[in-house]
Amino acid sequence: MPHTVRAALVQTEWTGDAESMMAAHEKYARDAAAQGARVIGFQEVFNAPYFCQVQEPEHHRWAEPVPDGPTVTRFGALARELNMVMVLPVFEVEKPGFYYNTAAVIDADGTYLGKYRKHHIPQVKGFWEKYYFRPGNLGWPVFDTTVGRIGVYICYDRHFPEGWRALGLAGAQLVYNPSATSRGLSAYLWKLEQPAAAVANAYFVAAINRVGVEEYGDNDFYGSSYFVDPRGRFVGDVASDTDAELVVRDLDLDLVDEVRQQWAFYRDRRPDAYGPLVEGRPMTRTLISGGLVVTASEELEADVLVEGGKVAALALRGSDPARSWAASGARTIDATGHYVVPGGVDGHTHMEMPFGGTRSADTFETGTRAAAWGGTTTIVDFAIQRPGESVRAGVDAWMAKADGACAVDYAFHAILSDVNESSLKEMDALVDEGITSFKLFMAYPGVFYSDDGQILRAMQRGAANGALTMMHAENGIAIDVLVEQALAEGRTDPRYHGEVRKALLESEATHRAIQLARVAGAPLYVVHVSATEAVAELARARDLGLNVFGETCPQYLFLSTDNLAEPGFEGAKYVCSTPLRPRDHQEHLWRALRTNDLSVVSTDHCPFCFVGQKDLGVGDFSRIPNGMPGVEHRMDLLHQAVVEGHISRRRWIELACATPARMFGMYPKKGTVAPGADADLVVYDPGAEQTLSAATHHMNVDYSAYEGKRVTGRARTVLSRGRVIVDDGSYLGSAGDGSYVPRSTCQYLV
């Protein structure tokens, strides 16, 4: 006897309030039941407006627990009354700060069967969903209901075939796809993607869309909801593109088995061959030939073979293996006259960082794209714990920002802004999960500042769990006194930012951090070292054999207080902390980089536009957002240092690639060119001349800190895990190419 299920879906407009919206859907459910429907599904976040057209915290009010919230409870009772299976898409709050785009599934007896959480979260104009929702973390469940096996895949998910397939492999017969989709560029996909998914996975799909224009934006939701069968055919007519409508159709579920037997897509799958594909790696061989391979330890005229996103092998140029690779049909990248170097590892960036009433101008998408242009293929950003919240909440928030946005690989440190027993315990779990470094601040009282007792406790915890303590070393209490005095005396221009943040206050804090680390028996990494006096403290500690490390940044090597003192308000472009120092500090920094008293060059990339952000501090230098752009130019500026004789080629790679990879637990996966390493590679043209300028850079900021500076050297071709993302002036990558990298602990500890 045929297994036919009468199924329903609802597309409708927003009624203006939650109660009338739910009442309308109760009526739709009763009408569907009266027509014999046994299962019904509603549109995305059905009991609320589509508030993601704006980014406003007030809209968290629509969220409720699942399954114990009022909507699931109310419709669970209705499902039992009508003997009807229900798919209920709602805005879920799991606990404070943990929000999801969710669909609850209720069986015909009113039993809550479980929920699906939307995996793929967009963040574009009119669909600002990352502001509200965390990515789903419950997999792709399929629910055994009274009418059959039902799955859910929400809205933007539909663009990603992997989830459709996961639902099919789990035995889904009917997949509800509730959406909020508006007229525009992708509208023509509405009648292509879901039918294609139904065919590829041999099940029915219920595609549901909202209708009309709502109060929080101008998105025009075009309805056009439908059912489609496993052969890709619409079941009955497609619904109106302008009017609310209840769609009821008979679905012959026997067709699922029939199609799976006839079109043997599941039988002919090749999961054994999909590993590289699933990991985002290319399936083909790539040969980089003719270049000089430069790593931190050697320089070698060798060809590099890439397979499956990894460096497979190196062979001397002209050797039998190299000739055989060239004859094997591998894609060849000619590196003649170029260096082949590891992709850069920038261990200190701040994408989308809130600071001083604004936020840094580069998103994870724009910032990592700029990094790629400059030959950096891995960044380590900072997830911020806000005072009063958990460290985990900060990590999860930053994970959500980066997810699906990054052009290159990324990892995270965590900033501890509220050191207490709870946050100290969280450190242990985060280290186990691959976040193995924690930053504390001796500066910024009232924002990020930790006192010596809190710092000591965090260091003691790091000594026990293997974490690396990172320190912003400036005496923030004393600096605040000097800031107050300067402003009271009318010294308000940007140059006074550098004058009040004195080198002695950097060195004092560096000394204090070192002594606290000695007491705790903990490793210490001092960030953005700018002053000769601070370098001297690091050198003394390292001479004692302590696990103490220092980082500096290109701005301290190439810029100075002369820039802070530029006429008018121009000096605001160079406001960062620690501040730029007089030019005579630079030679001491270069010497420390040569002697390894400074071990890493990172960017502290934290850009704020001159117009609209930096100018918040006109008339008060203390209100200028602290930070500068730099993620795109670090590799080139350090190569310029090779050209000028400050450092050697190998030291260039050591400072920019190998040491940060080791320091932050990613070596040899990152930071070198060796068999088994990720194929994060740069074909670098050492003779290319370029002029740095805001007119040509790719960072999302309206000025260049190095405007007009001529440098020699440029990344010509950039590979991220074997995929070419930049080539000869063209960007070939996309948001989402980058993957999250869990890290081990620091690899330098003695």
For the chain, the domains span 4-269, 276-337, 346-731
Work out the angle at residue 131's Cα, subtended by the Cα atoms of residues 129 and 134, and round it to the nearest 5 degrees: 75
Name every residue whose Cβ is closer than 8 Å to that of residue 65 and which is 6 or more positions away in sequence.
Answer: 92, 93, 94
Is residue 583 classed exposed, middle or buried when 0-12, 13-18 and 19+ CB atoms within 10 A define those classes?
exposed
Report the pLDDT value the prediction gives residue 1, as an integer from 0 to 100. Answer: 38
Q: Tokens 């709602």: give the residue.
A: 90
The domain covering 4-269 belongs, at the CATH homologous superfamily level, to Carbon-nitrogen hydrolase (3.60.110.10)
Which residue has better confidence, 388 or 716?
Answer: 716
In angstroms, what is the C-alpha Rg of the chain?
29
Mean pLDDT of the region 96-113: 95
Report the pLDDT value the prediction gives residue 187, as an integer from 0 to 100. Answer: 80
pLDDT band at 449 (very low <50, low <70, confident <90, very high): very high
Span 541-577, pLDDT tens digits: 999 999 999 999 999 999 999 999 999 999 999 999 9
Kindly report the pTM of this predicted structure. Answer: 0.69
Q: What is the H or E stretch that residue 537 is in?
A: helix 532-543
Span 638-680, pLDDT tens digits: 999 999 999 999 999 999 999 999 999 999 999 999 999 999 9
For residue 668, report the phi and psi dihedrals to the nearest 5 degrees. Answer: -95, 15
Report the pLDDT value the prediction gives residue 750, as an integer from 0 to 100. Answer: 62
Ranges assigned E (strand) in 49-195: 85-95, 98-106, 112-117, 123-124, 127-128, 142-144, 149-152, 174-178
**Which among 50-64, 587-601, 729-743 has the top mean pLDDT?**
587-601
Written as one string, the DSSP assignment of 78-101 is HHHHHT-EEEEEEEEEEETTEEEE
Span 276-335, pLDDT tens digits: 666 554 456 899 999 999 999 999 999 999 998 999 999 999 999 999 998 887 889 999
Give the integer Cα–Cα distance in Å for 567 and 89.
57
Tell me: pLDDT of 614 over 60. yes
Report the pLDDT value the prediction gives residue 140, as an integer from 0 to 100. Answer: 92
Mean pLDDT of the region 26-30: 98
pLDDT band at 266 (very low <50, low <70, confident <90, very high): confident
Span 180-228, pLDDT tens digits: 999 886 788 999 999 999 999 999 999 999 999 999 988 999 999 999 9
The domain covering 346-731 belongs, at the CATH homologous superfamily level, to Metal-dependent hydrolases (3.20.20.140)
Mean pLDDT of the region 36-45: 98
Mean pLDDT of the region 58-71: 95
Same fold, 4-269 and 346-731: no
Written as one string, the DSSP assignment of 560-594 is -HHHHT-TTTGGGGG--SSPP--TTHHHHHHHHHH
User: Which CATH code for domain 276-337?
Assistant: 2.30.40.10
Give the integer Cα–Cα distance in Å for 251 and 227.
9
Mean pLDDT value across the chain: 95
Give the alpha-carbon dihedral of 382, 386, 392, 395, to 10 degrees: -30
Report the pLDDT value the prediction gives residue 330, as an integer from 0 to 100. Answer: 84
Report the pLDDT value the prediction gives residue 272, as an integer from 0 to 100. Answer: 72
Is residue 140 classed exposed, middle or buried when 0-12, 13-18 and 19+ CB atoms within 10 A define those classes?
buried
Share of the chain above pLDDT 90, in %: 90
